[in-house]
């Protein structure tokens, strides 16, 4: 039954028409998150595989529509961070077992083979999403990065080799990078709703915080490795269903574990209206704020970095996380570079670096 439901999801959630719409909106690179179980799965693991044919179908569509693709290993055996987005909300055990590491590298190898087979479409390999620096020494993570680099480069020199910053600040990113790497990118994720202080800020402060959070990112020495904002969104609250995990509540309403009072910037903190799941109930004021908030992010990520991915390209009921809905409703610019003042001549000469998850 799980396979049946997943196959229905894989068959319908991403279509060629969606990719065509993204391309028409100015997007030129998409990121496909993939769990390791798509490539190797043991009988005692609670996962379902069968994804690869659907991934290859997307690669074919991307090739036809002119989109480039980053393949992103989003979950590793044993969980690299303990988050549900790794496949399991558990105490992470990834680097505690050489078997886990070998299985992760096997998934990297098989993803790289997809890149070789679809060389006209695949532009990057993200070897692992969000490994936790709180669980393992950065030196151990770098050792894995180097092993993965050797595998990718033994198969192709053409794709970007993409690593995650492990939630280190930019001042410490150099500890994650080897000097002999070529064609490499650092992936950093910038959100404003997963912090107990930042979520209390008002709209003006959220917009000001964009520049504050990006300041050290833009100052990082990018001569040896480029930087992409691999995830961001229009959301400044955590009301979205399951955003903190299944059944975990929200900071906004004060129902999240270890939060003893509502943390929204208002007296009445409810996940309704502008902060609910029905965008038709959004006020004009809130939609204008969303546009200013997105413009302030794109004016930095698009102009000063190697590019960005918006999380996500579409959703079922999370308006601020839905790129296509944002474009349709006007709080995301159809062509992202309209967020930056340019002359018409400049716009015609610059090749966009827009990315979307």
Catalytic residue check, 347: no
Q: How far is CA 283 from CA 3, 6, 320, in A?
A: 40, 35, 13
Q: Looking at the DSSP assignment, which residues form a beta bridge with residue 352? A: none
283: three-class secondary structure by DSSP? coil
Joined tokens for residue 180 = 């002999």
Task: Please state, in angstroms and rounded to a whole number, the distance separating the CA atoms of residues 301 and 339.
Answer: 11
Catalytic residue among 70, 231, 253, 320: 231
| Catalytic, out of 24, 45, 70, 130 | 130
Contact 257, 249 (CB under 8 A): yes
Euclidean distance between CA atoms 310 and 303, whole angstroms: 15
Taking the C-alpha atoms of residue 13 and residue 312, their distance in angstroms, rounded to an integer, is 12
Radius of gyration of the chain from its Cα atoms, rounded to whole angstroms: 20
Dist. CA 29–CA 65, nearest whole Å: 11
Structural contact between residues 40 and 47, judged by C-beta atoms closer than 8 angstroms = no
Bridge partners for 126 per DSSP: 72, 162
- Alpha carbons 92 and 78: distance in angstroms, whole number: 6
d(CA 9, CA 103): 26
Query: Among this protein's residues, is 7 annotated catalytic?
Result: no
Residues tagged active-site: 130, 231
């Amino acid at each position: 039954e799980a396979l049946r439901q997943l196959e229905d999801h894989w068959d319908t959630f991403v279509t060629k028409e969606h990719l065509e719409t993204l391309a028409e909106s100015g997007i030129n690179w998409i990121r496909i998150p993939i769990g390791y179980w798509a490539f190797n799965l043991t009988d005692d693991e609670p996962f379902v595989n069968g994804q690869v044919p659907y991934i290859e179908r997307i690669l074919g569509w991307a090739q036809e529509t002119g989109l480039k693709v980053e393949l992103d290993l989003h979950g590793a055996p044993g969980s690299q961070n303990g988050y549900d987005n790794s496949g399991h909300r558990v105490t992470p055990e990834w680097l505690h077992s050489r078997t886990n590491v070998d299985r992760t590298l096997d998934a990297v190898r098989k993803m790289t083979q997809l890149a070789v087979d679809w060389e006209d479409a695949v532009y990057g390999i993200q070897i692992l999403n969000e490994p936790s620096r709180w669980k393992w020494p950065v030196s151990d993570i770098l050792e894995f990065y180097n092993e993965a680099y050797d595998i990718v480069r033994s198969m192709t020199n053409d794709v970007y080799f993409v690593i995650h910053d492990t939630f280190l600040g930019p001042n410490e990113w150099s500890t994650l990078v080897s000097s002999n790497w070529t064609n490499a990118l650092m992936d950093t994720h910038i959100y404003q709703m997963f912090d107990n202080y930042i979520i209390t800020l008002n709209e003006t402060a959220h917009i000001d915080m964009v520049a504050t959070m990006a300041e050290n990112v833009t100052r990082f020495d990018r001569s040896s490795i480029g930087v992409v904002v691999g995830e961001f969104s229009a959301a400044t609250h955590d009301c979205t269903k399951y955003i903190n995990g299944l059944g975990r509540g929200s900071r906004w309403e004060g129902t999240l574990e270890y939060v003893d009072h509502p943390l929204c910037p208002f007296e009445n903190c409810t996940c309704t209206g502008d902060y609910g799941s029905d965008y038709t109930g959004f006020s004009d004021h809130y939609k204008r704020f969303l546009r200013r908030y997105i413009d302030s992010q794109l004016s930095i990520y698009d102009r000063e970095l190697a590019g960005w991915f918006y999380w996500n390209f579409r959703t079922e009921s999370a308006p601020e996380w839905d790129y296509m809905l944002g474009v349709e409703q006007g709080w995301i610019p159809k062509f992202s570079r309209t967020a930056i003042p340019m002359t018409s001549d400049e716009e015609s000469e610059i090749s966009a670096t827009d990315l979307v998850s």
